[in-house]
């Protein structure tokens, strides 16, 4: 009986000790807004992390390094496997796709994470790259290339802040944006995710975007989320023909000197680190023959060492499987040892956990490398307040914020400022509001085309995919009582042809031709044959080849991928606002000139980088 009593008290003592440890690292007086270690904070974040790390088993540590897609993991899996992060990939959404469903889903995963031995909260990630773009009814902003055309720091910060508010209102903590790629070849299917072809745009806009997402003092919690600079590094500089099987540019190789890599592709990351970005995502692409997901020199030596980045390095989607080699184990070992901390093994998270445990036990991955990764992950979770407030304050972030008139007004402003006027002969613009207008083209009345990829689904879609106003609807609303839309071009005072390209994302969008759609070419020819004054508005993620038609056009406007607020286009073409946008990329005469960038020795484009006209109002 005495022996049993002794054992009981020993067990009770251990439980109390463990409870004290948990209480000590969940210290609500500690927030990253005050100096670490100050008297009013109690323990510093570093002390809390070290105390928690010392209590963790190898399985718990590996769980923290694991990120799974919501479609392949249950809350029970999160609890049982001690998972550190869940994400929603493009189109991975709860049913129905409503804010309430997103909140319930998030809360169920978070509750499961907290119902573990150590109660470490989960961090939930999503690609909110131009608004909370997976959510039906959210405000959808112009893609980054349009923000690069606008060149407006205050606007970019406001766009990022609203994106954050709508994302956080559904409970989520972490956005995989901004993309700070410097696009050097517009045939790349991710061109629209870049601010533009010159690092000056990344220097100008990156920090503003991160402030909007993480807060003016890097709060990262409450009304804000953790931002991610991506894709480290050189993803916009890959060489045509060097891509993965079936792809021409995407996931390819950047074959320039390290000096050029640092000069062209690194400035955005320097700005991001200076701004305190919480995470950096590694690129699918490679540099000088070595894939970034195993590039220890650029991740560990340069990013973590030389640049002193102290946040979380996260892989891209299923990044391990993109590496060369037949063995998943070998690819994983190389990737972990290169310095990646959290692994977006969305579908293969179980394989990741099993193989990484074997690798540590076999001595192929050191416990020090594991501890470095987990320390960074835990630090980020403390910094963004997840230990103190694992659930969002619904009073602070009401669902009514999402898609509100106030938010859509900012998106409409972003559309106005992103438009670039490239031709305006005979002062066709601004159009008169009492005109009779013929309007046609693939993108005139197609909200899905107008939003582009990464909208509701990964590749985007066609038609009324979410709530918003098309360009045609915006023009109709802007006309006066005396103005009207006609289906007969012969009756029109002017023709407005809205051309463009079908939505796409990533490598699916790589194009060797950048040609107009057949239906759009027919409409351009119809307008030419009619002799009517013609305005062409191009809705696209990059310049498309227009040289064969440009001489016949009276006015030409680059509208990029404007998002849900088509009225912003009407605001400018009718003269309520003037054009202020400037080209963020060079517009070639022909695809044979590509790649073409400002400063090239032979530089003879159709429109130069930085080009943009104003109207006479």
Domain that holds residue 297: 42-395
Cα 217 to Cα 230: distance, rounded to the nearest angstrom: 21
What b-and-e string marks burial along 399-412, b requiring 16 or more CB atoms within 10 Å of the CB? Answer: bebbbbeebbebbb
Q: What is the mean pLDDT of residues 220-247?
A: 92
Q: Is 376 in the same domain as 518?
A: no
For residue 313, list its beta bridge partners: 280
CA distances from 197 to 242, 331, 506, 567 (A): 20, 32, 17, 28
Distance of CA 499 to the CA centre of its chain: 25
Cα 446 to Cα 538: distance, rounded to the nearest angstrom: 13
Confidence at 419, pLDDT banded by 50, 70, 90: very high
Domain count, the chain: 2
Q: Is 453 in the same domain as 363?
A: no
pLDDT digits 0-9 by tens, 279-306: 999 999 999 999 999 999 999 999 999 9
Cα 175 to Cα 225: distance, rounded to the nearest angstrom: 7
**pLDDT at residue number 248:** 79
Q: Is 116 in the same domain as 260?
A: yes
Q: Which is higher by pLDDT, 342 or 246? A: 342
Residues with Cβ < 8 Å from 85, sequence gap 6 or more?
A: 64, 66, 67, 68, 122, 123, 124, 125, 174, 342
Q: What is the mean pLDDT of residues 548-553?
A: 97
Q: Does a structural domain hold residue 244?
A: yes
Q: Does a structural domain hold residue 360?
A: yes
At 420 the three-state DSSP class reads strand
8 A C-beta contact, residue 172 and residue 125: yes
- Count Cα neighbours of 175 within 13 Å in the Cβ-side half-sphere: 35
What's the mean pLDDT when you consider all of the chain? 94
Q: Is 264 in the same domain as 128?
A: yes
8 A C-beta contact, residue 132 and residue 175: no
At 391 the three-state DSSP class reads coil
Q: Count CB neighbours of 511 within 10 A.
A: 20
Q: Which among 213, 256, 231, 310 is positioned nearest to 507, based on CA atoms?
A: 231
CA distances from 371 to 57, 64, 82, 116, 378 (A): 11, 11, 16, 20, 10
**pLDDT at residue number 25:** 58
Q: Is 415 in the same domain as 342?
A: no
571 counts as catalytic: no
Q: Is 412 in the same domain as 387?
A: no
For residue 174, list its beta bridge partners: 125, 226
Q: Is 426 in the same domain as 304?
A: no
CA 58, 175, 538, 191 dihedral sign is negative
Q: Does a structural domain hold residue 26?
A: no
8 A C-beta contact, residue 577 and residue 603: no
Asked whether residue 88 carries a pLDDT value surpassing 60, the answer given is: yes
At residue 152, φ and ψ (nearest 5 deg) are -120, 105
Q: Does a structural domain hold residue 35?
A: no
Q: Does a structural domain hold residue 470?
A: yes
Q: What is the mean pLDDT of residues 410-439?
A: 98
**pLDDT at residue number 460:** 98
**pLDDT at residue number 4:** 45
Q: Is 313 in the same domain as 206?
A: yes
CA distances from 111 to 92, 106, 108 (A): 20, 9, 5
pLDDT digits 0-9 by tens, 484-514: 999 999 999 999 999 999 999 999 999 999 9
Asked whether residue 463 carries a pLDDT value surpassing 60, the answer given is: yes
Q: Does a structural domain hold residue 22?
A: no
Q: Is 373 in the same domain as 470?
A: no
Confidence at 245, pLDDT banded by 50, 70, 90: low
Residues with Cβ < 8 Å from 279, sequence gap 6 or more?
A: 174, 226, 227, 228, 229, 311, 312, 313, 314, 342, 380
Q: Does a structural domain hold residue 18?
A: no
8 A C-beta contact, residue 581 and residue 560: no
Q: Provide the token pair at 205.
A: 């806009």
Q: Count CB neighbours of 282 within 10 A.
A: 29
Confidence at 26, pLDDT banded by 50, 70, 90: low
Q: What is the mean pLDDT of residues 387-409?
A: 96
**pLDDT at residue number 5:** 46
Asked whether residue 40 carries a pLDDT value surpassing 50, the answer given is: no
**pLDDT at residue number 12:** 45
**pLDDT at residue number 42:** 79
**pLDDT at residue number 243:** 82
Q: Count CB neighbours of 263 within 10 A.
A: 12
Confidence at 346, pLDDT banded by 50, 70, 90: very high
Q: Is 429 in the same domain as 531?
A: yes
**pLDDT at residue number 591:** 97
Residues with Cβ < 8 Å from 276, sequence gap 6 or more?
A: 210, 214, 218
Asked whether residue 27 carries a pLDDT value surpassing 60, the answer given is: no
pLDDT digits 0-9 by tens, 565-617: 999 999 999 999 999 999 999 999 999 999 999 999 999 999 999 999 999 99
Q: Is 157 in the same domain as 106?
A: yes
Confidence at 244, pLDDT banded by 50, 70, 90: confident
**Helix, strand, coil % in the chain, rounded to nearest 5:** 40, 10, 45
**pLDDT at residue number 246:** 66
pLDDT digits 0-9 by tens, 121-155: 999 999 999 999 999 999 999 999 999 999 999 99
Q: Does a structural domain hold residue 472?
A: yes
Question: Any idea what the CATH number is for the domain that residue 542 is in?
Answer: 3.40.50.1700
pLDDT digits 0-9 by tens, 300-337: 999 999 999 999 999 999 999 999 998 999 999 999 99
The burial of 262, by beta-carbon neighbours within 10 Å (0-12 exposed, 13-18 middle, 19 or more buried), is given as middle
pLDDT digits 0-9 by tens, 58-67: 999 999 999 9
Question: Any idea what the CATH number is for the domain that residue 245 is in?
Answer: 3.20.20.300
Asked whether residue 254 carries a pLDDT value surpassing 60, the answer given is: yes
For residue 530, list its beta bridge partners: none
Q: pTM of the predicted model, to two decimals? A: 0.94
Q: Is 346 in the same domain as 255?
A: yes
Q: Which among 132, 133, 136, 205 is positioned nearest to 165, based on CA atoms?
A: 132
Catalytic residue among 235, 316, 510, 554: 316
Q: Which among 475, 554, 542 is positioned nearest to 504, based on CA atoms?
A: 542
């Amino acid at each position: 009986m005495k022996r049993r009593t002794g054992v009981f008290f020993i067990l009770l003592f251990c439980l109390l000790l463990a409870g004290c440890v948990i209480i000590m690292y969940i210290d609500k007086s500690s927030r990253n807004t005050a100096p670490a270690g100050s008297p009013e904070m109690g323990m510093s974040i570093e002390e809390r992390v070290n105390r928690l790390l010392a209590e963790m088993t190898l399985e718990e540590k590996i769980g923290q390094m694991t990120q799974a897609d919501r479609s392949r993991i249950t809350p029970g899996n999160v609890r049982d496997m001690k998972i550190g992060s869940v994400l929603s990939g493009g189109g991975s959404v709860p049913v129905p796709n409503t804010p309430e469903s997103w909140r319930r889903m998030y809360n169920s995963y978070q509750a499961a994470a907290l119902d573990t031995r150590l109660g470490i909260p989960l961090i939930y990630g999503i690609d909110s790259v131009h608004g909370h773009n997976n959510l039906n009814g959210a405000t959808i902003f112009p893609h980054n290339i349009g923000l690069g055309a606008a060149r407006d720091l205050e606007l970019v910060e406001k766009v990022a802040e609203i994106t954050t508010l709508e994302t956080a209102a559904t409970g989520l903590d972490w956005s995989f944006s901004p993309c700070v790629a410097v696009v050097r070849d517009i045939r790349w299917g991710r061109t629209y995710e870049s601010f533009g072809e010159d690092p000056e745009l990344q220097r100008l806009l990156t920090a503003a975007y991160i402030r909007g997402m993480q807060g003016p003092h890097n709060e990262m919690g409450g009304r804000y989320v953790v931002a991610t600079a991506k894709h480290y590094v050189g993803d916009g500089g890959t060489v045509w023909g060097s891509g993965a099987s079936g792809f021409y540019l995407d996931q390819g190789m950047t074959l320039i000197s390290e000096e050029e890599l640092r000069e062209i592709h690194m400035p955005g990351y320097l700005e991001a680190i200076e701004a305190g970005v919480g995470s950096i995502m590694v690129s699918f692409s490679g540099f000088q023959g070595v894939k970034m997901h195993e590039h220890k020199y650029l991740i560990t030596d340069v990013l973590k060492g030389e640049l002193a980045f102290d946040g979380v390095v996260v892989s891209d989607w299923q990044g391990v499987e993109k590496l060369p080699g037949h063995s998943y184990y070998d690819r994983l070992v190389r990737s972990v040892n290169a310095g990646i901390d959290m692994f977006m093994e969305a579908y293969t998270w179980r394989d990741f956990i099993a193989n990484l445990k074997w690798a540590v036990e076999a001595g192929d991955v050191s416990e020090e490398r594991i501890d470095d990764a987990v320390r960074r992950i835990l630090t980020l979770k403390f910094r963004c307040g997840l230990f103190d407030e694992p659930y969002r304050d619904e009073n602070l972030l009401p669902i009514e914020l999402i898609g509100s008139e106030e938010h859509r007004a900012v998106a409409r402003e972003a559309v106005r400022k992103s438009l670039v006027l490239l031709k305006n002969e005979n002062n066709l613009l601004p159009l008169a509001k009492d005109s009779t207008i013929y309007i046609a083209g693939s993108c005139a009345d197609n909200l899905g085309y107008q939003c582009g990829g990464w909208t509701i689904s990964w590749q985007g879609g066609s038609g009324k995919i979410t709530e918003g106003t098309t360009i045609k609807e915006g023009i109709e609303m802007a006309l006066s009582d005396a103005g009207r839309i006609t289906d007969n071009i012969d009756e029109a005072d002017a023709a407005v042809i809205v051309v463009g390209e079908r939505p796409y994302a990533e490598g699916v969008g790589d194009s060797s031709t950048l040609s107009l759609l057949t239906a759009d070419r027919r409409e351009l020819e119809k307008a030419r044959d009619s002799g009517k004054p013609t305005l062409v508005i191009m809705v696209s993620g990059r310049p498309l080849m227009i040289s064969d038609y440009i001489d016949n056009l009276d006015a030409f406007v680059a509208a990029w991928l404007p998002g849900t607020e088509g009225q912003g286009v009407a605001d400018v073409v009718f003269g309520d606002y003037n054009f202020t946008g400037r080209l963020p990329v060079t517009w070639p005469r022909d695809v044979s000139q590509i790649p073409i960038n400002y400063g090239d020795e032979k530089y003879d484009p159709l429109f130069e980088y930085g080009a943009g006209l104003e109207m006479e109002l």
